[in-house]
Amino acid sequence: MQLSNSEEQLMQILWKQKKAFMKDLIDAYPEPKPAPTTVATLLKRMQDKNFVDYQQQGRSRKYFPLVKKKDYFSKHVNGLIKNFFNDSASQFASFFTETTNLSKDELEELKKIIDQQIKKK
């Protein structure tokens, strides 16, 4: 399941804070801050999608992510490779390295990472 852009923005804040009350989440937004009702609606939708849950603390709810940022990002990247690069990681890598302004040092670092992964397999 996927998050909308506004849900994803809120999820980024929650990943960073790990656990937070709604007030803390709203405070973390840049100006102009969303209305509390907007954030409450987003949290409810994200809870329905099993991305967040909360612990009741008195009359307040402390929200926390159920999905790790790395797992969410990984799913997105794999979907991108499947949908836009014919399920070819090499096509994706070629596109990525040719269309970004990576320095020689950055490319060398990527090569090291790939070499390490090859050794693990």
pLDDT in tens, 84-99: 888 888 888 888 888 8
The pLDDT value recorded for residue 37 is 96
User: Which residue in 95, 65, 53, 64 sits closest to 77, CA to CA?
Assistant: 95
Alpha-carbon distance of 121 to 101, in angstroms, equals: 29
Q: Token pair of 120, please?
A: 């693990």
> What is the model's pTM?
0.75
According to DSSP, the residues that pair with 64 across neighbouring strands are 53
Find out whether 22 and 63 touch, Cβ atoms under 8 Å.
Answer: yes
According to DSSP, the residues that pair with 65 across neighbouring strands are 52
3-class SS of residue 55: strand
pLDDT in tens, 109-120: 888 888 888 888
According to DSSP, the residues that pair with 54 across neighbouring strands are 63
The pLDDT value recorded for residue 57 is 94
Domains of the chain: 5-65 (1.10.10.10), 69-120 (no CATH)
Handedness of CA 99, 100, 102, 108 (dihedral sign): negative
According to DSSP, the residues that pair with 52 across neighbouring strands are 65
Find out whether 14 and 63 touch, Cβ atoms under 8 Å.
Answer: yes
